[in-house]
Structure 1
Amino acid sequence: MCGLDVALAVIGGKWKPVILYHLQGGPTRFGDLKRLVAGISEKVLIQQLRELAAAGVLLRHDHQQVPPKVDYALTPFGMTLVEALKPLCDWGTRNRSKIAEIMPSRPQNVVAA
């Protein structure tokens, strides 16, 4: 049996792969993620980050300061997931124009590569 069901249980949904893409560069503050993941609400971002942290894919670091400073970083386990997503990202980049023809109502610039 294919492990796709297991992978989708971790990254399923509209936003989690995009969040992971933006975390691959290193620890990222919540406000920066909110700006990078265009179109996501603060409530949904918080929920998605909590689910990814619960799955062991990322770590939440609260710096315990005022004003609040919180950042998120991939765990080594999370990095393996990002590596698995890279071919899918490459496929999307190669086929962006074809998908735009087939699905013109879909946003084409959700992730700027």
Structure 2
Amino acid sequence: MDPMRGQGGIQMLLTAEHEAQQIVTAARNLKMARLKQAKEEAEREVANYRSHLEAEYQKHISESSGSSDSTVKRLEAETEAKIQRLKESASKVSPEVVQMLLKYITTVRT
């Protein structure tokens, strides 16, 4: 009877070991599925975050270039105003300069 008991005990142990192995395998498979799902979610979050940052960057670039265009226009207007003032100043002084040059050219030193 003892040998039968031992045989039955061994069979129960083998069955228990087989069930434990199935449980471990199922747990591993579940763990791998969860890891895969977590990886996919992380990749989606990274993609969303990257697109969000890219949109902010493009917005910042467009705002910066817009202000650059306005700066260029402002500088062009200031330059034109300065050129106009210089022309007016030159036209006011021009007759005096012409008279002074004529005086020096026509005056003979002896």
Q: Which has the higher contact order (CA 8 A, sep 6+)?
A: 1
Q: Whose strand proportion is higher, 1 or 2? A: 1
Q: TM-score, normalised by structure 2?
A: 0.23
Q: Whose helix proportion is higher, 1 or 2? A: 2
Q: TM-score, normalised by structure 1?
A: 0.22
Q: In terms of Rg, which structure is larger? A: 2
